[in-house]
Structure 1
Amino acid sequence: MKKSFLDYFSDTVLFFIRPIVLLLMKKELKVTHKGLTINKNLHEPVVLISNHFNTWDTFVIAANFKSKIRYIATEIAFLDFSKRFGMGLLAQTIKKRVGKSDTNAVRKTFKNLKKGYSIGLFPEGDNTFYGETLDMHQSVGKLIKKANKDVIMFKQQGGYISQPRWADYFSKKGHIHTFGKMLFTKEELDKVTDKEVMQVIEKELYNNDYDFQRKHMFNLDRKKRAEGIERLIYFCNKCNSVVSIKGINHDIICDKCGVIGTINKFEFIENNQFDNLVDYNHFQYSHIKEVIDSEFSFNVTLNEVVKLKNKSLGDFLLTYKDKTITLENKKDKFEFVFDKILYPVNTMRHSFSFDYEGITYNLTNIRNQFVLYEMLRFSNGSYKD
C-alpha cells in the first residue's frame, strides 16, 4: 500500500526531531539498554510491545528501536493541544478509546502495517500510578494474532521510580534500563492461542520498580518528594481515614493523624509499615469497601468532551456518597451514579474521564482521581477483559 503525503511528512519530521528529543531526554533520564537492538528500518514490520511509565516511553524506546513505527494511544490523550499536534499530526499516532471496541483504530492499524510501519502497543493501556505493571487489555492477544507479524518486546525499568506519575516534581537524575527481546516469530504465533500470547506478555512485561530500585539504589534526589502523593494515596494506613492524605516537602501527611511517612532520596518510605507504594497500594485497595462506604469531597473542573476537545462546564465541588458522584456549584448540578459510568480512564497526572449516558466527561485540575478509578474498578469490574 502506498504512503500518503502525511506519512512522508511525518517520516521526515521525525527523522530530524528524533536526535533533538533524545538529547533533551538525556538531561533527565539515563537510558541503559541490553538485548535486542534495532538500528535500521526493518524490511518487514513488527509488533512492538512495552510496559508504560510516562510520555517519555516512545522516546526511550526510540533510542534503540530505529525502524519506522506507529503507536496506538488512548484518544483522551489528544485533548491536550500539544499532544494532539505532536502525537496526531507529527507522529501519526493511531487513536483508540480505552475500553471501547474501535473498528476504525483496528482498520488504521492494519493499513499502517501494509504501508510497512511497525505497530507499537502498550498492553496496559495506561501508565502505573504506584510502580507495578497494571492488568492488561486481553484484546491485545487477538490483535497480535491477526497481525501475524514478529513480536518484539522492549521492557522498561526505573522510569516510574525516576518520575512517579503522581509526583509534582520529577528527578533530573533518572535512570531507565531497557531490555529488548524477540517474544514471538510469526511462525511461533501460529502455534499458540491469543490467550497464550497474553500469558507470555503478562509474564515478560511484569515489573515492580521498587524491586528494581532495591538492586540498584540510585540516588534520584527529587525535590519535594511527597508533593502530589494525594493523587495516589486515598486511605491512611494509621488511622483508616479516607481522602485525608497530602504531601508537604518529603513528608506524607494525614489531615487526621499527622505525618505517616517520609520519602527518602532513594524513593522508599521511611517511618511507615510499608516502605514502598506498591505494597501500600495493595493495602489500601484491600480496604476499598470501606472507601466505597465513606463520604468525601474535593474541587475539580468539569469538561464535556466534544470532538476531542474539552468544553469547560465550570469549577465544581465534587462530593462522593452512596456510589454517586455529585458535582455542584452556584449555577449547576450534575449527578453520576456508579453503575451508569462507563470507560473510566486516568489520563496524565491531573485528568479523569468517563462516559455517562452517551456523553464523555473529563475532570481536570483534579488531585484525587485514583480513588474514583479504583472504586469504579471494584464496583463495575475491569473494562480490560
Structure 2
Amino acid sequence: MRIVLDIFHAIIIWMMNIVAKLPLAILMFIRLNVRYKNLRDIYTTRGPYLVLPNHTNQWDPFILSFIFPRPVHWVASDGAFRDSMLKAFMLLGGAIPKIKEQSDLITLNAIKRSISMGHCAGIFPEGEQTWDGRSLPLIPATAKLVRHLKIPVIIPIIKGGYLTKPRWAWGIRRCRIEVHLKRVINSSEIKSLKLSEIERRLRETIVQDDYAWQNSAKVPIAGEKRAEHLELAFFACPSCEGIGTLHSKGNSLACACGYSIYVDRYGFFQYPPEGPDFASPADWKNWQNAMLSEKIKDEIDQAELNGNSDPVLLRDANITLMKAKRAMPMRPIYRGEARLYKNRLEIGNEGCSAMVFPLKDISAVNTFKQQKFEFRFEKNQHRLAMPSRHVSGYKWEVAYKGLRRLLVERGLW
C-alpha cells in the first residue's frame, strides 16, 4: 500500500512541477528580474542530485525550482507549514518540514524517499536566510549528509536576492537576481571523496555578499520604501546604543536620539557625516550583536554588585505568546510583557500571573521570517508575536544566544 501511495504522490509532484512552470515564469522574469547562468551543469547531470543554494529570501525555492527538469523536494522550516492552505500546496509540491536548530530523523527519511523516486532534494545548508546580505556558516552536518546520500551536488549561488527581498522587509523591491549554477561533486567521485574534501568544496563555493556584488553590478532598486522595517535586523542605535529605539519610514532609519541613516537607490547605507558609520551592514550587525551580549553581561554584574540577583535583561510590551505542535497552526495562549532574565523567559504583566520558561529547557531558538521569535519547549513550538511590524524579534534571538554563551563560560549552564 505504501508503494502505491508513493507512486501516486510522485505523479502528483511531477504534475505540480509542470503546471507551476508558467506562473513561476511570470514571477521570475517580470516581477523578480531573474537571470540564470551556466544551466549546462543541470542538464548534463544524470539521475537525482542534491541542490545546496545560499539562502537570500523566501522566494529562493521558487526561483530555483523553475529551472530544474526534475521536481525538487525542498526542506523547509516547519513554521512554513502552519498555514493550512499553504501547507497543502507545499506538501503537494513535495516540500519536507523540518524543525530549525534540531537534527531530525523524519526529515532525513523524507529526503531519502524523494531521491528513491528519482527526484532531487533541496536544502539550504546555512539553515536560515541572511540578515545582512552575506552568506552564513554552513550547518556542520551538511557534508556528512552529502557523503551519506552519495549523489551529485549542484550549488546555485543567488546574487541580488537579498537586495530584492531582504529578510527584514515585507515587500519585493525590484532589482536583479542572478543565479550562478555549479556542479561541485560528480556521481563518479562521490563515493571516494573524503569528508574533509566535501566540506572544503561546499565551504569555498557557498560564498556570497550582495553588497560586494552590488558595488560592481550597480543595479537600481525600485521603490521609495528601501529602509522600511530595517530596524527588525538593525535594532541597536550606533550613536546612543539604545535597543529598539530605531524606527524606519520610507528610505530612512532614525533613532529617538537624532541619529539617522538613508538607504540610497542601490541599497547602500548613507551615514551622517559625524558618524558613527560602518564599512558594511554586516559590520553594523556584528557590532550590535556583540554590544547587546556585552550589555547583558554588564547588567548582570552590576545588578549583583547592587544586591539584585534577578535583573530584567530585555523586555517588550504587548507580546502575544503562541503555541503549536509540529507543522500545525499556531494558537494564541497568553498576552503580556515578555521579559528575559538570566535563567528564564517570562510572559505576563508585572504583578500578574506569568508563563515561565526556564532557559535550560528551551531549544531550537530562532527567528521565523521577519520578526517571529520561536523556541521549543516540552515538545511544542512557541512563538512571541510582536505587537507591530516595527518591533524586532531577532534581538530576542541574539540576547538569548549571547546570554547562553556567557552562562556556559561561567559554568552556570
- Secondary structure of 1:346 counterpart: strand
* Equivalent of residue 29 in structure 1, options 19, 25, 32: 32
2:153 maps to a residue whose letter is: V
Aligned to 1:199: 200
Paired residue for 2:347? 327
Q: Distance in 2 between matches of 1:76 and 1:199?
A: 31
Q: CA deviation at 1:38?
A: 6.2
Cα contact 1:169–1:227 (8 A) shared by 2: no
1:228 aligns with 2:229: yes
Two-structure CA RMSD over aligned residues (Å): 2.3
Contact 2:334 2:347 in 1 (8 A): no
2:137 partner amino acid: D
SS at match of 1:50: coil
Match of 2:370 among 325, 345, 349: 349
Shift of 1:80: 2.5
Give the AA of the match of 1:165: R
Report SS of the residue matched to 1:174.
coil
Larger proportion of strand:
1
Do the aligned residues in 2 keep the contact of 1:132 with 1:278 (CA within 8 Å)?
yes
Q: Who is 2:396 aligned against?
A: 372
Would you say 1:258 and 2:258 are equivalent positions? Answer: yes
Segments of 5+ residues of structure 2 without an aligned counterpart are: 300-312, 406-413
| Alignment of 1:339 onto 2:356 | no
Conserved? CA contact 1:100–1:343, under 8 Å: yes
The answer to whether the 8 Å contact 2:10/2:117 transfers is no
CA 1:164–1:8: 2 relative to 1, 3 Å: same
For residues 99 and 310 of structure 1, do their structure 2 counterparts lie closer, same or farther at Cα, with a shift above 3 Å needed?
same
Structure 1 unaligned regions, length at least 5: none
Does the 8 Å contact 1:39/1:65 carry over to 2?
Answer: yes
Matched, 1:309 2:333: no
Query: Number of residues paired by the alignment?
Result: 378
Contact map agreement 2:293 2:403 (CA 8 A) in 1: no
Residues 223 and 210 (structure 1), Cα distance of their counterparts in 2 relative to 1, 3 Å cut = same
Residues 356-381 of structure 1, C-alpha deviations (whole Å, 9 max, x = no match): 24432122246311111122333436
Counterpart contact for 1:252–1:260, Cα < 8 Å: yes
AA matched with 1:121? I
Q: Which residue of 1 aligns with 2:242?
A: 241
| Cα deviation digits, residues 265-321 of structure 1 (max 9, x gap) | 111111251264212112212313234345432433211113522121143322334
Classify the secondary structure of the residue corresponding to 1:85.
Answer: helix
Q: 1:38 to 1:68 in 2, by over 3 A?
A: farther
SS of equivalent to 2:20: helix
Find the counterpart in structure 2 of residue 297 from structure 1: 316
Secondary structure in structure 2 of the residue aligned to 1:12: helix
SS at match of 1:267: coil
Q: Which amino acid aligns with 1:287?
A: M
Worse overlay, 225-234 or 2-11: 2-11
Equivalent residue runs for 1:138-287 within 5 Å: 138-171=140-173, 173-255=174-256, 257-272=257-272, 273-274=277-278, 276-287=280-291
1:38/1:185 Cα in 2 relative to 1: closer, same or farther (>3 Å)? closer
Change (3 A) 1:218 1:151: same
TM-score relative to the length of structure 1: 0.90
Q: Please name the residue that 2:21 is paired with.
A: 18
Name the SS of the counterpart of 1:95 in structure 2. strand
Tell me whether 157-166 or 90-99 shows the greater mean CA deviation. Answer: 90-99
> Is 1:362 matched with 2:364?
no
Displacement of 1:164 in angstroms is 1.0
TM-score for both structures, normalised by structure 2: 0.84
CA apart distance, 1:247: 0.7
